[in-house]
Amino acid sequence: MLKIQETSYRYQRERQLFEGLNLTVKPGEIVGLYGNSGMGKTTMAKIIAGYLNPDSGKITVDDQNHHKKSPNPVQLIWQHPEQAVNPRWKMKQVLAEGGVIQKELYEQFDIKESWMQRYPSELSGGELQRFCLARALMPTTKYIIADEITTMLDALTQAQIWRVMLSLKTQRQLGILAISHDKILLDRISDRVINFEDLIKSPS
Amino acid sequence: MAKHIRLKYKLSQRFEGRNPRKHALIVSIAAIVCLFTLVIVGAFVNVEGLDVNFMAKNNPPSFTHIFGTDWLGRDMLIRTLKGLNLSFWIGVLAATLSVIIAVSFSILSSVNKTLDAVVTWLIDLFMGIPHIITLILISFALGGGLKGVVIGVALTHWPMLTRLLRAEVMQIKSMEYIGVSQNMGKSWWWIGTHHILPHLLPQLIVGFILLFPHAILHEAAITFLGFGLSSEQPAIGIILSEAMRYLSSGMWWLAFFPGFSLLIMVFLFDVLGRNLRKLIDPLNGQKL
pLDDT value at residue B282? 52
* CATH (domain of B102): 1.10.3720.10
- The CA distance from B143 to A124, in Å, is 62
pLDDT value at residue B17? 58
- The CA distance from A22 to B197, in Å, is 41
Output the CA angle B79-B83-B84, nearest 5 degrees: 120
Please determine, for residue B83, whether its predicted confidence score (pLDDT) is greater than 90.
no
Beta bridge partners of A34: A195
Quick one: average pLDDT of B103-120?
88
B46-61 burial: b if 16+ Cβ within 10 Å, else e: eeebeeeeeebebbeb
CA nearest to B158, candidates B249, B81, B95, B212: B95
CATH number of A29-52+66-189: 3.40.50.300
A73 inside 8 A of chain B by CB = no
3 state SS of B251: coil
Domain presence at residue B224:
yes
Quick one: average pLDDT of B266-276?
88
Quick one: average pLDDT of B272-288?
68
- Best to test chain B binding among A85, A88, A91 (most B CBs inside 10 Å): A88
Please determine, for residue B236, whether its predicted confidence score (pLDDT) is greater than 80.
yes
Least confident range from B15-19, B73-77, B254-258: namely: B15-19
3 state SS of B97: helix
Place B117 in a pLDDT band, splitting at 50, 70 and 90: very high
- The CA distance from B273 to B35, in Å, is 12
Least confident range from A121-130, B48-57, B156-165: namely: B48-57
A97 inside 8 A of chain B by CB = yes
Place B121 in a pLDDT band, splitting at 50, 70 and 90: very high
Quick one: average pLDDT of B235-254?
83
3 state SS of A40: coil
pLDDT value at residue A32? 92
Quick one: average pLDDT of B173-181?
88
Domain presence at residue B8:
no
A13 inside 8 A of chain B by CB = no
Of A7-11, B241-245, B261-265, highest mean pLDDT: B261-265
Q: A138: which residues sit within 8 A by CB, 6+ positions away?
A: A71, A75, A98, A99, B184
- The CA distance from A45 to B83, in Å, is 64
- Best to test chain A binding among B181, B183, B186, B188 (most A CBs inside 10 Å): B183
Place B101 in a pLDDT band, splitting at 50, 70 and 90: very high
Check: pTM over 0.80? Answer yes or no.
no
Its domain, for residue B220, covers 20-45+74-282
pLDDT value at residue B125? 92
- The parts of chain A modelled with pLDDT lower than 70 are 201-204
B199 inside 8 A of chain A by CB = yes
Please determine, for residue B288, whether its predicted confidence score (pLDDT) is greater than 50.
no
pLDDT value at residue A143? 92
pLDDT value at residue B217? 85
A42 and A17 in contact (C-beta within 8 Å)? no
Quick one: average pLDDT of B119-139?
90
Domain presence at residue B52:
no
A134 inside 8 A of chain B by CB = no
Q: Looking at per-residue confidence, does A152 or B20 come out higher? A: A152
Quick one: average pLDDT of B76-80?
86
- Contact assignment for A97 to B175 by CB distance below 8 Å: no
CB < 8 Å from B in window 31-60 of A: 49-51
Please determine, for residue B221, whether its predicted confidence score (pLDDT) is greater than 90.
no
Domain residue extents for chain A: 29-52+66-189
Identify the closest residue of chain A to B172 by CA–CA distance. Answer: A86
CA nearest to B119, candidates B104, B139, B132: B104
- Contact assignment for A70 to B185 by CB distance below 8 Å: yes
Contacts of A117 in chain B (CB under 8 A): none
Domain presence at residue B62:
no
Place B182 in a pLDDT band, splitting at 50, 70 and 90: confident
- The CA distance from B105 to A104, in Å, is 46
Quick one: average pLDDT of B129-133?
87
Distance from CA of A70 to the nearest CA of B (A): 4
A119 inside 8 A of chain B by CB = yes
What mean pLDDT, rounded, does chain B reach? 83
Beta bridge partners of B68: none
Q: What's the total number of domains in chain B?
A: 1
* H or E element at residue B201: helix B197-225
Please determine, for residue B223, whether its predicted confidence score (pLDDT) is greater than 60.
yes
pLDDT value at residue B287? 46
Please determine, for residue B160, whether its predicted confidence score (pLDDT) is greater than 80.
yes
CA nearest to B30, candidates B284, B210, B275: B275
Please report, rounded to a whole number, the percentage of residues in chain B having pLDDT higher than 90. 12
- The CA distance from B67 to B119, in Å, is 47
